[in-house]
Structure 1
């Protein structure tokens, strides 16, 4: 995974995982950090590369860089997190017999932080999207909510790669149907999404919902969801560009954010219905 979700909690966990204040020395070195910080264009956030050479430890550097990224360029920060985890793994940071082992507590903290964003960090440092089919109802909704948060920011990796062959909106529709009917049968996307809308009492072009004043908006959301699905590169989902080559980057961001908006709407409606 080239990009890893970044938030305040993950920034703290990533700074802890490089903290070597209590040991004589441990890789990655400051020079290693210099290289990946510069490679990702995050040097403006690094106190060491900005002349503060005093007592700037690795943890303080990483925390400062990630906080700068959260404010000014989250996408660069997400790429940096992925590279830093790869760097730690390459130095044996996740192997308890290695002199560069980062410690069980630091790994557990990072695992828990990433899990809330739909990412599984294995004990050997490998990263995979959370497989939704293996989760309980509560875990499923928490994972979907994490993908929705990222989709609403235009993060294509989270919006399309939910650890399954489904995109985010398809996964949410399937969850709605399973929750309300006990199971769902695989079908084409418009039928799947239409059934989810119908079960939630929402209008589609073929069904009338319970709230007439919301009907036009609900139909628009349904049609928008189908339109976004039509833009998917279905052979490439999970293995490269998630949208057709004719879709520009700006159009892709709009499509992803739309996917997040519709997914959030459906998930909130489901919570209302079952509460």
Structure 2
């Protein structure tokens, strides 16, 4: 599923940047749902991406409040985690403004560079979330749900 999104995004950057932006947001949203489902967590069918991420960050221990002040580099880590939240919100907003969502009535002004930014943000976010999730599973902090 995730690979299909990634293939669609890469193929559309030059030819259909609006679709690539929409697919970038959808890839992140799909991953958030997969993590929640595989971790045995519930979410409502209509929950938006920020709400899904809030649940995932709690499951993975990624909210800035979960980082102890005594941890080495804690201030820097907290800044990056807050930026991750902001980037996810920005990706959702970019999809709403330049992407294919919400039944556009005019062509999108999205350019390939906007789609590339969405793709690169998506890859960074999804790799970090997958790596963190796998770490938590490997250490027995999360039990996989069937």
**Cross-structure match for 2:60:** 200
Deviation for aligned residue 1:246: 3.4
Please say if residues 50 and 89 of structure 2, whose CA atoms lie closer than 8 Å, have aligned partners that are also in contact.
Answer: yes
Structure 1: distance between partners of 2:8 and 2:127 = 10
Please give the alpha-carbon distance, in whole angstroms, between the structure 2 residues aligned to 1:172 and 1:218: 17
- Distance in 1 separating the partners of 2:117 and 2:11: 7
Q: Name which one, 1 or 2, has greater alpha-carbon Rg.
A: 1
Greater relative contact order (CA < 8 Å, ≥ 6 in sequence): 2
Indicate yes or no: 2:32 matched with 1:173. Answer: yes
Q: Is the 8 A contact 2:21 2:118 kept in 1?
A: no
Corresponding residue of 2:134 = 271
> Are positions 1:228 and 2:91 aligned together?
yes
Q: Distance in 1 between matches of 2:103 and 2:127?
A: 25
Q: Contact 2:21/2:115 (CA < 8 Å) preserved in 1?
A: no
- Structure 2 counterparts to residues 77-116 of structure 1, below 5 A: none
Report how many aligned residue pairs link the two structures: 120
In structure 2, runs of 5+ residues without a counterpart are: 14-18, 69-73, 139-146
The answer to whether 1:247 aligns with 2:114 is no
Per the normalisation by structure 2, the TM-score is 0.65
Q: Deviations over 1:8-28 (max 9, x none)?
A: xxxxxxxxxxxxxxxxxxxxx
1:240-267 Cα offsets, whole Å, 9 max, x none, are: xxxx823322112111221121011111
Q: 1:236 to 1:223 in 2, by over 3 A?
A: same
Q: Does 1:189 align with 2:46?
A: no
Contact 1:155 1:256 in 2 (8 A): no
Q: Partner of 1:210 in structure 2?
A: 67
- Moved >3 Å (runs of 4+): 147-162
8 A Cα contact 1:228 1:255, kept in partner: yes
Distance between the aligned counterparts of 2:129 and 2:9, measured in 1? 14
Cα distance, 1:159 vs. partner? Answer: 7.1
Unaligned stretches of 5+ residues in structure 1? 1-142, 238-243
Q: 1:188 to 1:149 in 2, by over 3 A?
A: closer
